[in-house]
Chain A
Amino acid sequence: MSVGLVVVSHSEKIAEGVVELAAQMAPDVVIVAAGGADDGEGRPARIGTSFDRVQAAIERASGGDGVVILTDLGSAVMTAEMVLEFLEPEARASVRLAQAALVEGAVAAAVQAQGRSTLDEVLRAAEGAVVSIRPEELEPFVSHAAAAPGQGDADEAPSSAGGPTASGAWVLPNQMGLHARPAAALATGLAELDAEVTVNGVDGKSVMLLMSLGLGQGRTVTAEANGPDAQAAVDFIGEAVESGFGESD
């Protein structure tokens, strides 16, 4: 079983909507909505967050390799933190509270979880999925990391610095370009290699960041890798891109 997700929002509709959106790209992932607060028996949920609903949602999502919780505004975070404090230490160890934008984070985490990634990889996907509109860019969605390559990662320089490096560049042949499925395939494959990989300035192990590049047919994919498996990583990307990710056109 993959990592499960819990979506906590002040609004029941937002939580259910985010679950619906994320589930579209991750049919095998358990994603549970915990939106709104109870307003007594039989009445519709009101705006708020509910300790009991979050607790029950974590319970339902915890059948797999752990749970990542995504939240919206402040008191959703506080409610989730409270629930975590009430978990048994053993259960607590396999639950993570993501500091992420709710919609983007949930989609990224779901896609990552669908690829059977580990708990911390799913968490990283969620937290890496901060997206902003950059009017000077051609693509509507560009990640902060893509807009300012090198920034944000400065404090975690690869330990393998000075080790083998490799790089490559290829043109995307397939009609759909680097869309969700190939992005997930690349990120999942790269996650298994011992290398720091940058694709067009973003972390190659992040599905959401790869997708946010918005690279279509005819665009160039450039990769740089550091670490023991650097060459293998570049070869893997090159083969995947040149084969059009196995898509017929």
Chain B
Amino acid sequence: MRMTTDLDAQWAVRWVRETARVVAENRALLIDLDRAIGDADHGENLDRGFSAVVAKLDSADVPSTPAAVLEQVAMTLMSTVGGAAGPLYGTAFLRAATSVGDADVIDAETAAAMIRAARDGIVARGKAEVGDKTMVDAWTPASESAETAAQAGANAPDVLAAAANAAHAGAVATEPLIARKGRASYLGERSAGHQDPGAVSTALILQAAADSAGGAVA
């Protein structure tokens, strides 16, 4: 028996807290992945950023809409992350907040649109394309799967679960790629053979979104 919940402000808060937990849990993994092809700061930076987000939530009244929670996440990440993930995830959460608007509860269609907006924001900010071995390689299939699920009549939690599954597959598929963006692109062919840390953290974040809503794991 699986319980799903509405995607309301409480869900958004659970999502953020769950993200902070899994990022902390996978901090060493993300650092190792980034050490292989980057500057080894992704795990540390994201952990610092989401810890700050949780601290912010603990210190003030919880915002009343999902969008307000997401916007607070965006502002905190931008100020605290420091690496490329700051502006990228900051933009993603900001665009997600804008797309959700003042809705109290996010329906399936809005959930898919939210992931699309986050993905488009990351592409606009980082100017990466699919196949460049970046987080775009997780966000793009996530967005497409979320839209397919929404169109097929899935409920909002299942839309998130579809996105999370596709993001995981997308992250795994970055392993053989040669990086064409970011610090890893300086490595050329030596960047092949490792998953992209940004794609992996994207999968963690979207998995946390689905888990916080009780979405089905396909």
Residues of chain A lying within 8 A (CB to CB) of residue B125:
78, 81-82
How many A-B pairs fall under 8 Å by CB? 49
Residues of chain A lying within 8 A (CB to CB) of residue B88:
78
Selected contact of A81 from candidates B39, B80, B83, B87, CB within 8 Å = B87
Q: Tell me the complex Cα distance, A75–B38, Å.
A: 13
Query: Interface digits, B36-62 against A, CB 8 Å rule (1 contact, 0 not)?
Result: 000101000100000000000000000
Residues of chain B lying within 8 A (CB to CB) of residue A51:
78-79, 86-87, 90
Query: Interface digits, B13-54 against A, CB 8 Å rule (1 contact, 0 not)?
Result: 000000000000000000000000001010001000000000
Contact B84 A37 (CB under 8 A): no
Contact A48 B83 (CB under 8 A): yes
Residues of chain A lying within 8 A (CB to CB) of residue B82:
37-38, 46-50
Q: Tell me the complex Cα distance, A78–B83, Å.
A: 10
Contact B90 A82 (CB under 8 A): yes
A74 within 8 A of B: yes
B182 within 8 A of A: yes
Q: Tell me the complex Cα distance, A48–B88, Å.
A: 14
Residues of chain A lying within 8 A (CB to CB) of residue B86:
48-49, 51, 75, 79
What is the CB-to-nearest-CB distance from B121 to chain A, in angstroms, rounded to a whole number? 11
Most buried by A among B78, B91, B181: B78
Given contacts A51-B78, A82-B78, contact A75 B91 (CB under 8 A): no
Q: Which residue of B lies closest to A52 (CB)?
A: B79
Residues of chain A lying within 8 A (CB to CB) of residue B41:
47-48
Residues of chain B lying within 8 A (CB to CB) of residue A38:
80, 82
Residues of chain B lying within 8 A (CB to CB) of residue A91:
none
Which residues B59-89 have CB closer than 8 A to chain A?
A: 78-84, 86-88
What is the CB-to-nearest-CB distance from B122 to chain A, in angstroms, rounded to a whole number? 10
Which residues A40-83 have CB closer than 8 A to chain B?
A: 46-52, 73-75, 78-79, 81-82
What is the CB-to-nearest-CB distance from A35 to chain B, in angstroms, rounded to a whole number? 11
B126 within 8 A of A: yes
Q: Tell me the complex Cα distance, A52–B86, Å.
A: 12
What is the CB-to-nearest-CB distance from B40 to chain A, in angstroms, rounded to a whole number? 10
Query: Interface digits, B102-125 against A, CB 8 Å rule (1 contact, 0 not)?
Result: 000000000000000000000001
Q: Which residue of B lies closest to A75 (CB)?
A: B84
B183 within 8 A of A: yes
Q: Which residue of B lies closest to A46 (CB)?
A: B82
Q: Tell me the complex Cα distance, A82–B81, Å.
A: 14
Residues of chain A lying within 8 A (CB to CB) of residue B126:
74, 78
Query: Interface digits, B166-193 against A, CB 8 Å rule (1 contact, 0 not)?
Result: 0000000000000001110000000000
Q: Tell me the complex Cα distance, A74–B79, Å.
A: 17
What is the CB-to-nearest-CB distance from B114 to chain A, in angstroms, rounded to a whole number? 19
Residues of chain B lying within 8 A (CB to CB) of residue A78:
84, 87-88, 125-126
What is the CB-to-nearest-CB distance from A45 to chain B, in angstroms, rounded to a whole number? 9
Subset of 27 A-B contacts with CB under 8 Å? A37-B82, A38-B80, A47-B41, A48-B41, A48-B82, A48-B83, A48-B86, A49-B83, A49-B86, A50-B82, A51-B78, A51-B90, A73-B183, A74-B84, A74-B126, A74-B182, A75-B83, A75-B87, A78-B84, A78-B87, A78-B88, A78-B125, A78-B126, A79-B87, A81-B87, A82-B87, A82-B125
**A residues with CB within 8 A of B:** 37-38, 46-52, 73-75, 78-79, 81-82
**B residues with CB within 8 A of A:** 39, 41, 45, 78-84, 86-88, 90-91, 125-126, 181-183
Given contacts A74-B183, A79-B78, A82-B87, 9 further A-B contacts (CB under 8 A): A46-B82, A47-B39, A50-B82, A51-B78, A74-B181, A75-B87, A78-B125, A78-B126, A79-B87
